[in-house]
């Protein structure tokens, strides 16, 4: 496994691509209102990304048809935008990628629509808090498996479980690079495998299920739900290892 080490000028370009992602996500959050259609929100984000001189990198990636993954309620990741109009009590996940001058950005949020249940707020908080907790724990020299263990421990401690078979990933001149970073420990020993080094850039993205970690892909071949049929949540940031610590690049 060859994990790229980025120079400071490359990290600067990755930060620029990720800033556009973050701004597009802020735009979507501000327009997440009852009556807004998923296709309208997708188009809004795509127009913004292109206005900043970037490309929506998900559009056409592996055949995905849109700029934004819009994952509604039970859909945890990779939701295809439809004509569905948001309703009070929904929760919606947005995942956006960009390409700017050959470098990629990627981040995601889950947000409530109007007033939602305490259970849904806890579900969303699990993804967000787990992400920020894990980022705060990253240190140069720790192993990626230790990071997966931290992610899993945070999720399980809140009474939820991680989605299996999908993971965080490296990012740079491609939208998905080495390493793969599951939200759970594979095997029993976190003290093995590649170490985190200065210059590495990668995405962490907790994907939260309520009871069952098993993923099911729906008939459109994209929407991913849990086998429990319950609502899920998803949060993501791109981070760079600078001076021994993780710095979030996907900030507006």
Whether 2 is covered by a domain: the verdict is: no
CA angle 45, 47, 49 (to 5 degrees): 70
Q: Look at residue 1 in the predicted model and tell me its pLDDT.
A: 63
Whether 100 is covered by a domain: the verdict is: yes
Whether 17 is covered by a domain: the verdict is: yes
Tell me the C-alpha distance between 241 and 200, whole Å.
6
Q: Contact 110/92 with Cβ under 8 angstroms?
A: yes
Whether 1 is covered by a domain: the verdict is: no
Whether 141 is covered by a domain: the verdict is: yes
Convert the pLDDT of each residue in 102-122 to its tens digit: 999 999 999 999 999 999 999
Tell me the C-alpha distance between 39 and 37, whole Å.
5
- Residue 172, domain extent: 8-248
Beta carbons within 8 Å of 198's beta carbon, 6+ residues apart: 5, 140, 241, 242, 243, 244
Q: Contact 173/104 with Cβ under 8 angstroms?
A: yes
Tell me the C-alpha distance between 199 and 88, whole Å.
43
Low-confidence residues of the chain: pLDDT under 70: 1
Whether 33 is covered by a domain: the verdict is: yes
User: Six-digit token pair at 142?
Assistant: 């720790």
Tell me the C-alpha distance between 243 and 240, whole Å.
10
Whether 163 is covered by a domain: the verdict is: yes
In the chain, the number of structural domains is 1
- What are the residues facing 105 on neighbouring strands? 98
Whether 3 is covered by a domain: the verdict is: no
Q: Look at residue 149 in the predicted model and tell me its pLDDT.
A: 98
Q: Specify the CATH number for the domain of residue 122.
A: 3.90.230.10
State if pTM tops 0.85.
Answer: yes
Long-range contacts of 112-121 (CB under 8 A, 24+ apart): 113/32, 113/33, 113/34, 113/86, 113/87, 113/88, 113/89, 114/33, 114/34, 114/88, 114/89, 114/90, 115/88, 115/89, 116/89, 116/90, 116/91, 117/89, 120/89, 120/91, 120/231
């Amino acid at each position: 496994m060859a994990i790229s080490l980025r120079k400071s000028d490359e990290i600067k370009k990755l930060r620029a691509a990720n800033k556009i992602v973050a701004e597009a996500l802020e735009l979507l959050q501000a327009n997440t209102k009852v009556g807004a259609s998923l296709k309208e929100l997708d188009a809004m984000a795509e127009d913004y990304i292109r206005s900043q001189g970037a490309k929506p990198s998900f559009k056409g990636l592996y055949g995905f048809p849109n700029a934004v993954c819009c994952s509604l309620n039970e859909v945890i990741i990779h939701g295809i935008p439809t004509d569905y109009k948001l309703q009070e009590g929904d929760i919606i996940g947005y995942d956006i990628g960009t390409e700017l001058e050959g470098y990629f950005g990627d981040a995601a949020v889950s947000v409530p629509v109007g007033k939602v249940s305490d259970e849904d707020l806890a579900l969303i908080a699990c993804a967000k808090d787990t992400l920020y907790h894990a980022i705060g724990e990253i240190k140069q020299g720790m192993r990626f498996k230790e990071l997966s263990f931290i992610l899993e421990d945070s999720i399980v401690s809140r009474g939820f479980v991680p989605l299996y078979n999908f993971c965080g990933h490296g990012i740079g001149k491609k939208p998905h690079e080495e390493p793969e970073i599951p939200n759970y420990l594979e095997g029993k020993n976190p003290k093995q495998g590649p170490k985190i080094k200065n210059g590495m850039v990668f995405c962490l993205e907790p994907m939260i299920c309520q009871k069952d970690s098993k993923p099911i892909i729906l008939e459109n071949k994209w929407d991913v739900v849990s086998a429990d049929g319950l609502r899920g949540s998803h949060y993501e940031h791109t981070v760079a290892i600078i001076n021994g610590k993780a710095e979030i690049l996907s900030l507006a």
